Each structure stands twice: as C-alpha cells, then as structure tokens.
Amino acid sequence: MSVESDDAAESSSGASPRNPSRSSRPSNVNKNTSQKTKATHTIDRTQEYDDFIATLRTYHKQRGTSFEPEPWVGSAHLDLLKVFRHVVAAGGYDHVSATTLEWRKLATELGLDVTDRSAAGVAYALKSAFLKYLAAYEILTIHKKEPPPPQILEHESAKGGGLLTRTLENYTPKKGPTTVARAVSVNASASETDDTPARKETPARKETPRSGGTSRNLRVAPPQRVIFQPDTGTARQTRPAAASSQQSSHSHSATGTPTPQAKMAQPQGHSHPQPMGMTQQVHAPHMGHTVRGPSFNYNPLNPEATSTLVQNFEPRLDMVPIQMRPVETPANSPAEFDRRRRQERLKASGLFPQPQPARPPPGATVFEGPNIYVRCLCALRSGIPSEQAYALHHLVKISYERGDKFKFENFAGLAEGLVSKGLEVGGKFFHVNWTIDYSGDPDESNLEELDGLNGTPDILERIARLQPKDVLDNIQPADFADDMVQITEAVLTMRNMVTLPENAMQMADFPVLRDLVCIILHLPNIESVVELKHCALDIAEQLAPYIVLDAEDALYRTLIAQLHSTDRGAILTALRATTRLSMFLGETNRLPDVPASVLQNILDWLMLNDDELIDACLDFLYVYTAFIANIEPLLKTVGAPHLVNHLVRLLSHGARRIQKDYATEPEKKLPACENPLPIPEDLREQLLQMGEPDRCFAWLKCLFEEDPDSAITQIAIWQAYQASFSLHLQQMSRPMINAAEFIKNVPHVFKEAEPQIVKEMGERGETQKFIIRGVRPRMHPTTTEGREYVPCLWKTPVPPGNGRPGHRTQCIRHFKTAEQLYNHIIVEHVGEKPGADGKFADRERDLYCTWGSCARFPRLQKMQLSVFMNHIKTHTKAAQQKIALAHAHAASVDGAVGNKRPRRTYIVPPRTISIHLEETPFLRDERQQSVPMGIPFSAVLVLRNVARNVSKADGLVLDLPDLASEGQGQSASPLEHLFRPVTARLCDIMAKNQLLASYIQQVLEITRDNY
C-alpha cells in the first residue's frame, strides 16, 4: 500500500536478512535530491512562532505527553510552525501518509538536508516528529475531532496512517522485537564494544515467513530437544549380564540388523573388529525389576509418556580411532637411546646447559595477566620508580587516545595515585614533603599534611611559609629531570581525563586536587614548570563549571592572581576558568573582590588586536557586570566613558559593508503587440544581401522573441515578412520563400514556437484560427548581433476628422544610434533642413516638444533652434542609456542564475533601492544555534548589563569633569553621561546590523526611559 511508502523506504535503508545487499544498491527514487536541495531549514522566530510553540506546550501539558519545541531532524532543528502549515496545506497527516513519497517531498520543500542516502531517513524522522508533537493538535484544531489516546498515537511508531479513524477497539499496537531478536542485538552490540571475544553463536536457522518481527516468512518448528533420562541401572555389568549381552549381540548379528550399540562399538575407519562384550545392550529383567541400559535407548512403560522424537533419536558419536604408537626400545630406536645416554653423561659432568623455559605452542591459550589499565594502576600505586615511569608513560597515551572510555569511577585509587605523584613537585622546589590524610581528622599542626576529604583552606598560607630551594633552571641533575617528567605526565594524565564531563564532575568533589592546582600555580616562575602550570590551569578550567568558590577560597584567589601574569596562555585560561565558575550548578558566579589592577588590565587587553583575548575579556565582563554591586567599582576604576566607548567600538569589530537591493515595485510584463514592427531601413538592406532561408531566420530573430504565454496569427507574421521584402525582391528579380516553408522555419528559430489550429466561437459560430504559439513581436527590433535599436518616441498631432477628435500618434521608427535618431527628429518632426555645409541654421521660431511624456515645452513658444536641439539631445541620449541599462540588468540577472538566454524586452525590470548594511562575523553555539556568538554580540550584552544596572544603582556618583564643564553639571543622570555621547553611533549600528539590532534597541530603550 502507498500508506507506508516512506516507512518501507526507511526500513529498507539498511540491510535486511532476506537481501543483505539491498543497502548497497543506489536508490533512483530521489536521485536528484542532493542536486536540487540547496535551501537550508531555519527557524523563523517571529511572534507568531512563539505563540504557536506556547500553545503547543500548553496542549501537550494538558494531554500528558512530552513536548520538544525544536526537535532535531537530519542536520537542523525543526520549525514546527512551518511543518504544521506544510502538512495541513498538503491535506493533513493521513493524506500525506497515503501518498507515495509525499513525506520526502515535504522534507525537500522545507529545506531539510535530503540526499540520496538520507532521503528515507529524513522523511521518516519528519513524519515521526509530526506524529509525536503535531498530529493530535491537527486532529483537534483542523478536523475538529477528539484525537486518539496517547498510547495509540504518540507512544506508537510513525508507520502507517489512519489517525482520524484510529480507536482503542480497531487498532492493535505493533509488537516489539522478539526475545531472540533482542538477544541477537545485545550480543551484536556487546561484540562491538568488548575487547574479550564473545562466545560463538550457533548457526542461525534460516528465517521463515514468520520467524521474527522484521522478517515476513512462516515460522518453523523449534529445534528438537532430547529429553534427558538418567541411567538408573547398575554401573557395572556382572559376568552373567555380560554373557547375556554377548548372546544378545550374537542374536542381533545373526539377523543382520545392527543395533545402535553395535554401531557405536564399531567406529568408522577402524579395520580391527571389536569384541562384542564391549557393547552395551539392554539388560534383561533380573531379580524382579527391569535392568536399564543407556538412557537414550530407554522406552518408557507408560505409552502416554512415549515421545516419537525420543524414539527416533539416534545419537551421533564420531568416535576417533585410537592411534597406535610403537614403544621405543633400543632395538627399534638406537639413535634415540644413544642421545639420552649422551645427555646423562653431560649432566653428570656438569656441562649440560640449563633448560630454557618452554614456550607455549602457537595458538595455545595462556594466562596473560591483567589488562593494561590494571597493570598501570598497580604500577603507579607500587611506589617503585621504574614501575611508575612505565605506568605514567602509558597512562598519558591511554588518556589521550581512549579518553572517552577512561573514567576515574572504573579504577579505584587512580585519582589518589596521580595526585600523590603530582604533589612530589613541592619537594623539588621547597623544603617540604606533602602528604594526604584521608581520615577526616588531619593534624593541623603538621604543615605538610593535607586534608584529603575536606580540602585545606589555608593552603596558600602554608605555601607562603615554605622555604625555597636553590634550583638552577638551565642545569638540572638527571634524577631531577626524570622526576619532573614523571610529575608532568601525572598532571597531564589528569588534565586529559577531566576533559570528559563525567570525570570532571567526579573530580570536582575531590578537594585535594584543588590544593594540588594551587601548589603548582605557586611554583617559581621558571621555564621547567611552564608546561606543568598550563596543565594545572586546564584542570581548573574543566572543573570550574562544577564547583562553587567564594572570595576567600584558595583556588579563586589563585586564579585571580594569574591575571597579573605576562603569559598570554595563562591569562586566557584563567579568564575562562573564572568566567565558567558554577556554570552548570544552581549557584550564581558573582566574581567578588576583583582587584582594581585586574579590571584595568582587562580594559587594556580590549584594545589589543587579539580576537581570542578580547572574547575572553568580554565574557569576564559580562559575568562581572551582571550584578549591581560590581558596577560602581568597575566604572570608578577603569573610567566609565572609556569602557562604554570601547564597547561601542567593538560593536563594529570585523564588520563588512554589504549592499542589498530591495524591490519597491515588482517586474511587469508588457502586453503583446498584435502587429510586428516595421523593419528599419539599414536592417532591411543588410537582410536583402542574404539568401533564403538565412534571411527568414535573421528576420525572425531581429523582430520576434520567445514567450510561452503569447501567440500570433500565421497570416499576420507572413504578411509582415512580405511587407518587408516582397517589393524589394521583385525589383531585384530574386525569389522569396513561400508561406508553407516560412511557417515551418519558425520552430527552427524558436524552440518554444509551435503552429496550432485554435477553434473560437464568433458571431458566425465556431471558426478555426491558425496561430503560432510561443512567439511575440519584439518591443524594439535588434541588429543581427543582438543590439537593440533606439525607438523614436515623438508624438505627431493628428487633427480631428471623420468623427474622431484630435489626438497624437507615436512615431514607430527605430534607429541604430542616438545620432541617427537626433537627425530624424530634426528633419522629419521639427522640419529643419541642413544647409550645404550639413549644419542647421540657428534661428528663432515657434517650437514645442512632444517626446513621450516630456513637459519641458508643452506648447508653442519662441526659442532658438540651438536651445531646442540641445533639449532633443537629452531625450536621444537618455533613450540609448535606458536600453544599455536594461541590457546590463538582464546580464547581471542571467549571470547570477547561470543562464545565457537573450533579454526579454517585454519584461519591465523591477524598481529597486540599494541599502548599505554592516555584517559582523559570528559563530553559532551548537546547543543554541539561534543565538549568534562573537565579539560584537558579547560587547552588546556587556553594554546592556551596564545600562541596566546603572539605571538600578541608587546613589551612583561618577567623576565626569569633561561633561560637567559643558554646562550639564550634576543635573544629568549617570546613565545619560555614559550613553548620550554614543547614542547616535548606536542608532547607526542598529540600522545597519540586523543581528545586533534587537539588542541595541534594548539598550536604547533602557537609556531613553532613564534620562
């Protein structure tokens, strides 16, 4: 059925059990999708969109179903309002599902990323999103019906349709995968992730029409099971029983029918006969009870318990024949005995080499010990330098290459071992040996003992009391350098591991790691510890979103102190770490007690040509200015006007001026003329030099053009051709093409042209009209090279007569150049004739201009002929420039589209207005793609915080002598002092930058309301 066309395409996108190679076939259903789909699906965040999402959220809350406002489909978030409108316009969910490949068509129209391989998947994802979030709303609002319950609507898959008729009585939910299918999928996933080889699966039975949820074959019977029957007979046979067994065996052999036991007793491939006494037979009744043999040959006494499967079962015991090996003796193997005697003599003399440990044969299973992770952990905790060097070397590689699966929670003691190794750096530069106490009650009098459970609050004071060692940075002992390499590897391993969010969350609750960061960052400023300090700062940056620090915390004070550094890398990392404090927690990062020198440094860094550093400084200022308590220290320390001016300057950081054309009037299509234009004289002379049918082709190209919506009668176009050349060809005694051949030549020139016979109803009834569809007369003739002639727009007055009032008729002549048009107007319409020298006499006479809609000289008035001729030149030049501009516009449009077709003269180009805008570079956040990121965006957010909190601050007094000296005094508010000088620039940026317009508008509204 067509209802599940997209669903079937989706399910067939992968390999199926019935046709494993199906996924490798190229699909031809949508083979041009990747070439045609160029648009990108975006979300238009209008007020209508916000209202629609709010209505949907309320409806799903009342319905008790989950709701996601921007579900992910393909490679973009979905605009639910666009999807709802498209599906409703297409007839609704049921109608779209019942139409073959309609969901793919909708996905393409919506601009989703549809390619040859992803077409089915994107279509099914779009259908699933509509079913889950919009189907019930469509039934309620569009069809005015009560939607089905969620358990048979949102909780079901998107396969199928028929939502309007779906009820609890007539709908059966689809069954999930069978237990066997789930087991196979679990085993498959386990085999992909586990390093240990999984147990080999038994060969899967061939899928039958109903053997699984995904196959469509019949079910087969389950594999036969052999019922186990315990052997209740005697373990050993007595001699009489053995004798009876021999007799029974002989009796069976005499009949020629071998028993199953006889078959087992004679293995294949063995030529020696086996004694019959070795064969087990069914024991004869003895001493009042039945003596049973092997369980597989037991027949129960009760016929109801008899199973044909058990009776017909014949075991397959592939008994391998015993390989007979001869016993080595001095007679049959003298060389071997000589070798043994020689070895015994060498052993007695002490010259026999020590036996080497035997290597296991290839393919043999041996115990390899623990894996590399456990070995590294044990080696690290052993305290042996060589073992620790081995462990740290491999831990660095593991944390870098397998960081996504190397977690602290899986290896108990790893974090403690790495931190203990990192603390050894203190003894290299100070007279100290740091130790960790995990009892919860450390000895506070011991300067070297750190609290492993709660952290050490006075760690900075302890570091300040340490006695430094004399360490030469350029010359170091070998053991010192080796120890520093191991310490750096331990800290680097932790740095690599905390980049994983799970590890960072766990290490945020490990206080001794913060103490280690403080100890490392307070080491002497020498080159040998630069890498170590950067690793410590990276650890602090990764832990910052999961910890809360107050102004007295040692790590917070240490990070703020790094902002006095001259190392750009340390400054960047410290800025990012302090900005991200408690980002993922409920606590608010207030950044208290930031020194004035740090704020001044941040303002100075804003003037550098370093985008990364500027971005980090703006992020810091955004968090810092979010609280009113921080506004006054900031503005008084760095100078309020300077800060605001720098922020306004950064609004245009990296801006690029662009020009956009907006159409004020759409393009228009002029009506077609019924009769072709007369051919210009110079063009006629040129075409008369050609022969047929070249003359016919050239005449059609110069006087006609393609238009699929227009038509001309065959008699009109033939008469126009006759009027152009018939008389002249007769005078030249040259033949002219006949009418039939002429009509046949029209489709050769214009591909869209087609001779037709149209039936029309007239006064005399139905009549036939012979036309040519797809062509129309040109508005202006063209040369054979395609250049348009300049038209004469002079209107000649016609006196009244024959019952018609006086009017003006426009001249229909065309000329190749503006100079020819100028001479035509002066001679033909004005009535002046040149003298013998070819010049016109400048005399005064009554003149007026009737060119087009010119109103310069509307009625007769006396003027010099030279003045009037200069006026006429403006018309001729303007007419030629107008045609040139039309050609340029057509060339630009065709070049943008990629076409090279001739200009359509019957299309009046749209009127446009050019607007110059500013476009600033920005980045998209993966989690919030609708929000632009970048330096200008961060700057406008800081400006908004400053404006908002300055307006809320009570009693804020700023020292602004420059504005006070201008007569404004203290009457103006601090907000007006800060933002009035830059208001004009803010308005200019708001008008030119569309991305920042809404945010700058908020700043201007705040300042306007508080002036």
Token digits of residue 248: 């029974």
**Does the predicted TM-score (pTM) go above 0.85?**
no
The pLDDT, as a whole number, for residue 925 is 52
Instruction: Give the pLDDT of residue 353.
Output: 63
User: Mean pLDDT, to the nearest integer, of 128-135?
Assistant: 88
In the numeric block, the tokens 């510890």 are attached to 529
> Last residue of a domain, which of 526, 547, 568?
547
Residues 851 and 989 in one domain: no
Report yes or no: 78 and 70 within 8 Å, Cβ to Cβ: yes
Type of residue found at 46: T
pLDDT recorded at residue 173 = 63
Identify the pLDDT of residue 237: 44
SS3 of the chain: helix, strand, coil, percent, to 5: 50, 10, 45
Q: Which of 727, 755, 781 is the last residue of a domain?
A: 781
Average pLDDT in the 776-804 region?
82
More confident call, 869 vs 160: 869
Domain presence at residue 227: no
Structure tokens at 744: 């046949």
User: Is beta strand 704-713 parallel, antiparallel or unpaired with respect to 765-777?
Assistant: antiparallel
Here the CATH number for the domain that contains residue 756 is 1.10.10.10
1002 in the same domain as 877: no
Which of 752, 781, 810 is the C-terminal boundary of a domain? 781
In a domain, 474, yes or no: yes
Backbone Cα Rg of the chain: 48
Q: Is residue 807 in a domain?
A: yes
pLDDT value for 226:
57
Average pLDDT over residues 103-115: 82
* pLDDT tens string 671-728: 888 788 888 888 988 899 888 889 999 999 998 988 888 889 999 999 999 998 988 8
Q: Domain containing 17 — which CATH number?
A: 1.10.150.60
Q: What is the mean pLDDT of the chain?
A: 78
Q: Cα dihedral angle (908, 913, 914, 917), rounded to 10 degrees?
A: -140
pLDDT band at 6 (very low <50, low <70, confident <90, very high): low
b/e burial code for range 810-842 (CB count within 10 A of at least 16 → b): ebebbbbebebbbebbbeebbebeeeeeeebee
Backbone angles phi, psi at 492, to 5 degrees: -65, -35
CA 496, distance to chain mean position in Å, is: 27
| 900 vs 479, residue with greater confidence | 479
Q: 701 with 839, same domain?
A: no
403/485 same-domain check? yes
Is the pLDDT reported for residue 220 higher than 60?
no
C-alpha–C-alpha distance, residues 542 and 463, integer Å: 24
Angle, in degrees to the nearest 10, between helices 640-650 and 935-952:
150
In degrees rounded to 5, what are phi and psi of residue 907? Answer: -100, 120
Task: For residue 695, give every residue at least 6 positions away whose Cβ sits within 8 Å of its Cβ, in sequence order, or none.
Answer: 687, 688, 725, 737
Q: Do residues 26 and 155 both lie within one domain?
A: yes
Tokens of 131: 């079913």
Residue 600 in domain: no
Same domain, 99 and 156: yes
- pLDDT tens digits along 133-175: 998 898 889 988 888 888 888 888 887 778 888 877 777 665 4
Q: Are residues 388 and 495 in the same domain?
A: yes
761 and 851 in a common domain:
no
Closest to 508 measured CA to CA, from 552, 551, 550, 545: 545
Contacts of 441 (CB under 8 A, 6+ apart): none
CA dihedral (418, 419, 424, 430) in degrees, to 10, reads: 160
Q: To which H or E segment does residue 708 belong?
A: strand 704-713
Question: Do 384 and 436 fall within a single domain?
Answer: yes
For the chain, how many residues are written? 1011
Largest Cα–Cα distance of the chain, in whole Å? Answer: 160
> Is 205 domain-assigned?
no
User: Is the per-residue pLDDT at 74 higher than 60?
Assistant: yes
Rounded CA gap, 172 and 166, in Å? 10
pLDDT of residue 964: 44
CB burial of 846-872 (b: ≥16 within 10 Å; e: otherwise) equals ebebbbeebeebeeeeeeebeebbebb
Asked whether residue 498 is domain-assigned, the answer is yes
Phi and psi dihedrals of 327, rounded to 5?
Answer: -80, 130
pLDDT of residue 204: 41
Pair 674, 807 in one domain = no
Residues 84 and 24 occupy one common structural domain = yes
Please tell me the predicted confidence (pLDDT) of residue 403.
78
The string of pLDDT tens digits covering residues 896-946 is 444 455 667 778 778 888 888 777 766 555 555 444 578 999 999 999 999
Is there a single domain that holds both residue 494 and residue 417? yes
Cβ neighbourhood burial of 211 (10 Å; 0-12, 13-18, 19+): buried
The amino acid occupying position 307 is: S
Per the structure, how many domains does the chain have?
Answer: 5
Q: How far is it, in rounded angstroms, from Cα 758 to Cα 772?
A: 10
347 burial level (CB within 10 Å; 0-12, 13-18, 19+)? exposed
Q: Please check whether residue 917 is in contact with residue 994, taking contact to mean a CB–CB distance below 8 angstroms.
A: yes
In-domain check, residue 931: yes
Instruction: Please give the sequence-ordered ranges of beta strands (E in DSSP) within 720-872, or none if there are none.
Output: 754-762, 765-777, 790-791, 795-798, 807-810, 814-815, 844-847, 861-864
Q: Which domain holds residue 151?
A: 2-174
SS (H, E, C) 103-143: HHHHHHHCCCCCCCCCHHHHHHHHHHHHHHHCHHHHHHHCC
Indicate whether 267 belongs to any domain: no
pLDDT for res 214: 39
For 375-398, the pLDDT digits (tens) are 999 999 999 999 999 999 999 999
Helices (H), 256-384: 260-265, 308-311, 334-349, 372-382
Q: Does 34 have pLDDT greater than 60?
A: no
Query: How many C-alpha atoms does 507 have within 13 Å on its Cβ side?
Result: 31
pLDDT of residue 202: 40
Closest CA to 904 of 887, 879, 892: 887
